């Protein structure tokens, strides 16, 4: 009998989509995500645990969180369904569309204005957006950091910043990622060629 194989990967998700067992950048594990009658509108309550201690965090439902997530390779793949009846704005790409996605062809279908906008968003995410967990307030935190623990001591020494600077860059990084996602979602019909196929029909 085969045993499930568990793999760990990093992912950025809105707080409302956190799952039990996710590990956030502070090393705390998500125990539960709730939105009760007393929870402020647009917020979620996240119960976290680390070293036997628990705390309740109140986060914006759309706040992007970096997590380590475990996934089993013993998953059930649902049968392929016909998506032609689903409006383009609500449609999700299929496995085949994602597995065979041709970024070059999709780029060529965009107008110069769209290419420029996406290019600028991608540049901001590729620079500022990549640095969210690079900097810490103490050298000890840098040495233990998920992103920075493998750096040389010389590089680690340059990653110690004042708290305000760390917070400002973390906020800018999350905004860069969110802006990129928000811009891409409406473009899926063009990027995956759905719009062209529907027009032919």
Q: What is the reported pLDDT for 83? A: 64
Question: Cβ contacts of residue 146 below 8 Å, gap of 6+?
Answer: 10, 25, 68, 133
Q: pTM here?
A: 0.54
| 66 and 105 within one domain | no
Residues 60 and 100 in one domain: no
Mean pLDDT of 104-126: 93
49 closest CA partner among 70, 22, 76: 22
Are 100 and 189 in the same domain? yes
How much is the mean pLDDT over the chain? 83
Nearest-angstrom CA–CA distance, 115 and 137: 38
Our count of domains for the chain comes to 2
Give the mean model confidence (pLDDT) for residues 122-138: 89
Mean pLDDT of 124-149: 88
Q: Would residue 80 count as lying in a domain?
A: no
Domain ends where: 71, 87, 120? 71
The residue-averaged pLDDT of 119-127 equals: 93
Alpha-carbon distance of 37 to 176, in angstroms, equals: 32
**What span, in angstroms and rounded, lies between the C-alpha atoms of 130 and 124?**
9
In this structure, are residues 146 and 133 in contact, taking their beta carbons and an 8 Å threshold? yes
CB 131 within 8 A of CB 173: yes
How would residue 120 be classed by pLDDT, with cut points 50, 70 and 90?
very high
Is residue 84 situated within a structural domain?
Answer: no
Closest CA to 135 of 153, 119, 147, 123: 147
- Expressed as residue numbers, the domain containing 60 is 6-71
Q: Specify the pLDDT at position 36.
A: 65
Residues above pLDDT 90, as percent of the chain: 32
pLDDT at 81: 57
- Tell whether the model's pLDDT for residue 194 goes beyond 60: yes
**What average pLDDT does this structure show over 68-95?**
68
């Amino acid at each position: 009998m085969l045993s499930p194989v568990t793999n760990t990967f990093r992912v950025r998700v809105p707080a409302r989509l956190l799952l039990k067992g996710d590990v956030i950048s502070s090393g705390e594990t998500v125990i539960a995500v709730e939105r009760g009658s007393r929870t402020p509108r647009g917020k979620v309550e996240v119960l976290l645990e680390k070293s036997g201690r628990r705390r309740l965090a109140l986060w914006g439902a759309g706040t992007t969180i970096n997590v380590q997530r475990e996934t089993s390779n013993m998953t059930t793949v649902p049968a392929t369904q016909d998506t032609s009846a689903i409006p383009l704005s609500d449609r999700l790409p299929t496995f085949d569309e994602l597995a065979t996605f041709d970024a070059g062809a999709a780029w060529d279908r965009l107008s110069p204005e769209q290419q420029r906008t996406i290019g600028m968003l991608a540049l901001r995410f590729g620079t500022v957006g990549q640095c969210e967990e690079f900097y810490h307030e103490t050298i000890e935190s840098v040495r233990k950091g998920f992103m920075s623990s493998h750096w040389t001591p010389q590089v680690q020494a340059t990653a110690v910043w004042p708290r305000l600077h760390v917070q400002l860059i973390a906020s800018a990084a999350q905004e860069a990622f969110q802006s990129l996602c928000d811009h891409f979602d409406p473009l899926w019909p063009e990027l995956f060629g759905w719009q062209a196929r529907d027009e032919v029909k």
